[in-house]
């Protein structure tokens, strides 16, 4: 809750990424209130887009917080083939997906790291996908700072590719990938109004 309040107070905060989960839909009411405030009053009233990892249990009806909260966009993991990663939670709460398999990251050095010979490693999970989605949202806002949270959400939705051969409903949403795999180039150029 304190971290979210700091994000609200920071005029340069463009998106919130939460790569963790636990509890259920009614847990942590003060935290939920802070998230609602961030979404509605952050960025001088334009709102901050908020994302959370959907989880890695291959569950079509996940209920973990904070991804299940109504003010949060749950992010699923996609593969290099733009299909749902086999571990990624999915279902009606999934907003969209971004890459979540074999993602490069910095590693702790020496014996404490995953690799003792390198400062870098790879990992998979929706904890990789969530910060990618937040980075795309922040890039959208860098290209057009005037957008509201709802407008950023709409840009991301429209910039999502309907991949994987899944069934997408009349609203353009599938159970597996939500609105699809977000195309960062399409999102940023659409937000900026350029080709």
pLDDT digits (tens, 9 = 90+) for 74-117: 999 999 999 999 999 999 999 999 999 999 999 888 888 888 88
pLDDT (0 to 100) of residue 117: 84
pLDDT (0 to 100) of residue 17: 98
Q: Is the peptide bond before 66 cis (omega within 30 degrees of 0)?
A: yes
pLDDT at 194 over 90: no
- The 3-state DSSP class for residue 121 equals strand
What's the mean pLDDT in 58-78? 97
d(CA 187, CA 150): 14
d(CA 44, CA 48): 9
Q: Which residue has the higher pLDDT, 75 or 21?
A: 75
pLDDT (0 to 100) of residue 41: 96
Chain-wide mean pLDDT for the chain?
Answer: 95
Quick one: how many helices (H) and strands (E) in the chain? 5, 8
Prediction pTM value? 0.94
């Amino acid at each position: 809750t304190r971290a979210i309040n700091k994000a609200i107070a920071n005029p340069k905060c463009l998106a919130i990424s939460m790569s963790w989960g636990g509890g259920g839909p009614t847990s942590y009411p003060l935290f939920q209130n802070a998230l609602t405030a961030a979404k509605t009053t952050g960025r001088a009233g334009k709102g901050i887009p908020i994302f959370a990892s959907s989880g890695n249990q291959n569950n079509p009806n996940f209920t973990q917080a904070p991804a299940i909260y109504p003010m949060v966009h749950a992010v699923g993991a996609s593969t290099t083939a733009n299909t749902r990663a086999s571990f990624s939670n999915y279902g009606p709460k999934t907003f969209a997906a971004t890459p979540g398999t074999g993602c490069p990251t910095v590693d702790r050095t020496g014996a404490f790291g995953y690799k003792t010979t390198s400062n870098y490693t790879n990992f998979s999970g929706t904890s990789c996908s969530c910060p990618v989605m937040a980075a795309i949202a922040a890039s959208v806002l860098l290209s057009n700072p005037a957008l509201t949270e709802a407008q950023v959400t709409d840009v991301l939705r429209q910039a999502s590719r309907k991949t994987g051969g899944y069934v997408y409903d009349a609203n353009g949403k599938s159970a597996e990938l939500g609105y699809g795999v977000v195309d960062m180039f399409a999102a940023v150029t659409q937000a900026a109004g350029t080709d």
